[in-house]
Chains A and B, each alone.
Chain A
């Protein structure tokens, strides 16, 4: 046996970029074929898409006559930006929405930056104070002019529906989950029936019900606003899904936690609020955010009952005779915005999951 030669480097083909390529793309003959097919697909899709969106696109101009290039004409979006973001909200009152946008953005950025103090206070502000400010800002009162909800629209309306849904459906969902797990047969049966009915039907039928049946349920003369009816429908629908998510977390709690808190003499509500819910909600945070993402995507359905949310407004400006034939731009823009919101939320939940994972 000769001495080991320490100067021999690994073969070039095994390390570095070449090694990586060989290992991950060309390891066998069929992997090579798959890689080539994949590259061909990328070649087919990506360059035309990029040139349509960026390189051949028109960015400047004011009318459709400026759309002369072969790519997308973003002038369409630019010219209708006010409608897309604020809906038909009166121009003089837009500052009210802007304040809300500003407060929302600042608080969310504050919550996202790690290691800052007073996050709890900001969270409480966002959940409890901010919605109340918004109610007065948006609809009027306290000296502000009233703005009817039929003028609400665009991204603003989408965020209102999603926000109300998220803020209100979580507590309802938690109550329903507790109800379903309750030892009291009547409570548990009622909660189960409620959850299963809402989960068993599509959101569209819920919205149809909200717009056609709610008026029948109320005494004569009481007439709910169309938006409020839709909000109630969305809220219960989302609460039923959240209830099942929360129930999963409750079931994941080891029995010892219940027994220990009972042994310590806690009442049912104290046990739930102090011991069980904090732990079980933490486990299901990713699933809860998943439900919020679903809710956010589902807000688009309100356009079917005649509310002009973000997608509804884009559909609407596409039918404007001055801008016929620009639906591609509208849909791609809407898709990009929705994607950023949803993907952002899902990435955030993954980060949170890692951060909160105390492991055992």
Chain B
């Protein structure tokens, strides 16, 4: 029996594909329409106006920690910015410490010293398998809240104080002349970059090496201290002092910030350590052996052969961990650190009731960060791609 024209038509792949897509698309559109319709009705019933007009309205609430000028008379948009900056602050500090601790533990885990490797492994396995929120609670409620009162603070070198009101650090004061040091510092850095380029070019041309690293390090450090001395040390530190029941002066980090950054960096460090370990182990042993047999010194093997190849494996998952840390910083809401989620999706949402706009904005911020990072990563992968054989 020969297939009829009609059965030819309905069993055609392209026709079937189009048909399925049409069904999917119409189902999705119907679903979205249903939701939008319901939402509009519900908002009407609750007397809510949609739109972003509320952003210009006075917020009438105060925020415990602000990096910019903010008061209850500021607008909701200001509150949004304050929350965003606080989130970025926590993420920034967290990423800094997580990287250092993570690399340290990752390298320790590969140590030939059995004890050191075991210590690192224990740390990683313990921290990775306990929920982050529990760790945040632990550092905040069980450690920082249980610290002594300001009078009995824990001191480091008479200038750093830790107590149940937070962490107090010396605050640098820049007086006149400090800008000179600042400019000179950047100028020396630019010069060093040129030294690196020049020495690399000369080495490619003539094969003569130049100790670019030591020369530029000496230049930067030397000029920095020389300019400090020449301008008469224009930087002074305001040291926090105990006055009455609390510390005055200096820089104050609220306990919520300290607990959150501590927990975030310890937690993410365990994951970064695994990333680093995997990256270093991904460089095959033959690479090291070949480099040695060419006659490179041990330090050069590391710098020219292992690290560049390991970094190519490490960087993408590392940025992923950075992103995770940033997203995890939203757990701030649980200990009342005024981050984006707590300030905006918490307090502002409660006051205005604009659920869709507010949660949309908050999700948008995180989405933007994710997409931005993944674009950067794709660029990185393109530039670092090895010629495949």
Which A residues contact B (CB, under 8 angstroms)? 24-25, 27, 31, 34-35, 38-39, 41-42, 183-187, 190, 196-197, 199-202, 204-205, 208-209, 212-213, 215-220, 293, 297-298, 300-301, 303-304, 311, 315, 318, 327-328, 331, 334-335, 338-339, 342-343, 346
Contacts and interface: CB of A to CB of B under 8 A. Distances in A.
B141 A24 contact: no
B331 A187 contact: no
Residue of A24, A35, A201 contacting most chain B CB atoms (<10 Å): A201
Given A216-B38, A297-B131, A201 B17 contact: no
Contacts of B328: 202
A220 B42 contact: yes
A339 B330 contact: no
Contact of A297 (B126, B132, B369): B132
A245 to B, nearest CB: 13
Contacts of A219: 38, 41
B133 interface: yes
Given A27-B112, A183-B17, A342-B130, A208 B142 contact: no
Nearest to B364: A201
Contact of B129 (A42, A196, A327, A342): A342
Contact of B137 (A213, A311, A338): A311
B28 A334 contact: no
Nearest to A197: B367
Interface residues of B, number: 53
A199 B323 CA distance: 11
Given A201-B363, A328-B142, 12 more contacts: A24-B114, A25-B113, A27-B113, A201-B370, A202-B328, A205-B345, A208-B341, A216-B355, A218-B42, A220-B45, A301-B331, A338-B134
Contacts of B327: 201-202
Contacts of A315: 137
A46 B186 CA distance: 47
Given A200-B371, A339-B126, A187 B366 contact: no
Interface in B310-347: 327-328, 330-331, 333-334, 341, 345
A38 B137 contact: no
7 contacts: A208-B362, A215-B42, A216-B38, A297-B131, A311-B134, A339-B130, A343-B129
B115 to A, nearest CB: 4
B231 interface: no
Given A24-B114, A205-B363, A220-B41, A331 B138 contact: yes
Contacts of B141: 318, 327, 331
A160 B9 CA distance: 48
A41 B20 CA distance: 63
Nearest to B135: A335
A196 B374 CA distance: 11
Interface in B197-229: none
Contact of A35 (B25, B115, B130, B363): B115
A278 B331 CA distance: 37
B21 interface: yes
A341 B45 CA distance: 46
